[in-house]
Amino acid sequence: MNVKDLVDALNLKVYSGHEGLDNMVTGGYTSDLLSDVMGNAPAGAVWITLQTHVNVMAVATLKDISAVILVKGLQPEPNTIVQSDNEKIPILGTDLQAFEISGKLYHLLGLK
Amino acid sequence: MHFEYRVQGGDFVRAGQASSQVKKILKQLNVSPGIIKRVVVALYEGEVNIVAHAFQGKIYVDIETNKIRVVLDDVGPGIPDIEMAMRPGFSTASPIVREMGFGAGMGLPNIKANTDKMKISSVVGVGTRLEFEVALKE
């Protein structure tokens, strides 16, 4: 499954990083602590978070994250968008909260 | 090969740039993804520690045939109790830094878990030196 499939299936907004919509999605990780993501998120994961600042993209890039989903209608900051475009890692958005979107992603990836 | 990077305390916008450049270099050298991951996790945590806690710092990276050696030197407040700082969950980060999702007390344990050798030396009121090594062959 790639990021575009995910966007369609979960009805997500695409804020930025359109060039990365064909990135392959191999898992997910939900956390708002950057060191937790640094230490534990698997490569290829979609990262679900409420953090919107530019360091999200630094971590996402270093960890080879496939896409970031911002929860609860939160929007990325302008320099986060710039980095997302540069690194071709899409920032997506949902109005759902982290628990709900994590559950939907878990099912979608067939992990249940 | 030797590389040096400057890190500015408080500059969260640029935090991670040195790590990103080292990652690119290791990729070009065909280092295995698993080892690149370990180096990058340790280096990013060290870089963020300088940004979050120190006034300024320098990162020295030496890539040899069998290992990568990194020294992060900062001018800053220093660490009064290194054993305490190493404890998972312990942090002295400011509330603003914590709100950004840093300062969870996971940085130094992450560095320890991802390196083969790690050493911290610090003088209170002067600065901190973090050194680590990662073998480049699995």
pLDDT tens, position by position, B9-38: 999 999 999 999 999 999 999 999 999 999
Question: For A85, phi and psi rounded to 5 degrees?
Answer: -65, -45
Q: Could you give phi then psi for residue B102, rounded to 5 degrees?
A: -100, 180
Stated pTM of the model: 0.92
Cβ(A64)–Cβ(A45) under 8 Å? no
B120, containing H or E segment:
strand B117-123
Averaged over B56-68, what is the pLDDT?
96
Task: Compare CB distances from A55 to B12, B33, B110 and report the shortest one's residue.
Answer: B12
- Whether residue B15 and residue A58 make contact (CB cut-off 8 A), yes or no, is yes
Alpha-carbon distance values, A8 to A1, A60, A84, A93, B13 (Å): 11, 22, 20, 12, 32
Contact at 8 Å (CB) between A87 and A63?
no
- Whole-number pLDDT of residue B62: 97
User: Hey, which bits of A12-111 come out as E strands?
Assistant: 13-16, 27-30, 45-49, 67-70, 91-93
Q: Which two structure tokens, joined as six digits, stand for B117?
A: 């050798």
Q: What interface predicted TM-score (ipTM) does this complex get?
A: 0.86
Structure tokens at A23: 């990135």
- Nearest neighbour of A34 by CB, restricted to B19, B101, B109: B101
Best residue in B100, B102, B110 for a mutation probing chain A (most A CBs within 10 Å): B100
Contacts (Cβ under 8 Å, ≥6 apart) of A88: A17, A19, A20, A23
pLDDT on residue A112: 57
- Residue ranges of chain A whose pLDDT lies below 50: none
Domain ranges of chain A: 3-108
Burial (CB count within 10 angstroms: exposed 0-12, middle 13-18, buried 19+), residue A51: buried
Give the model's pLDDT for residue A110: 87
Q: Which architecture characterizes domain A3-108 according to CATH?
A: 3-Layer(aba) Sandwich (3.40)
Residue of B nearest to A61 (CA): B20
For A56-66, how does the pLDDT look when each residue is reduced to its tens digit (9 = 90+)?
Answer: 999 999 999 99
Are A89 and A66 contacting, i.e. CB atoms less than 8 angstroms apart? yes
Domains, in order of start, for chain B: 2-135 (3.30.565.10)
User: Parallel, antiparallel, or unpaired: how do β-strands A67-70 and A91-93 relate?
Assistant: parallel
> Does B55 score more than 70 pLDDT?
yes
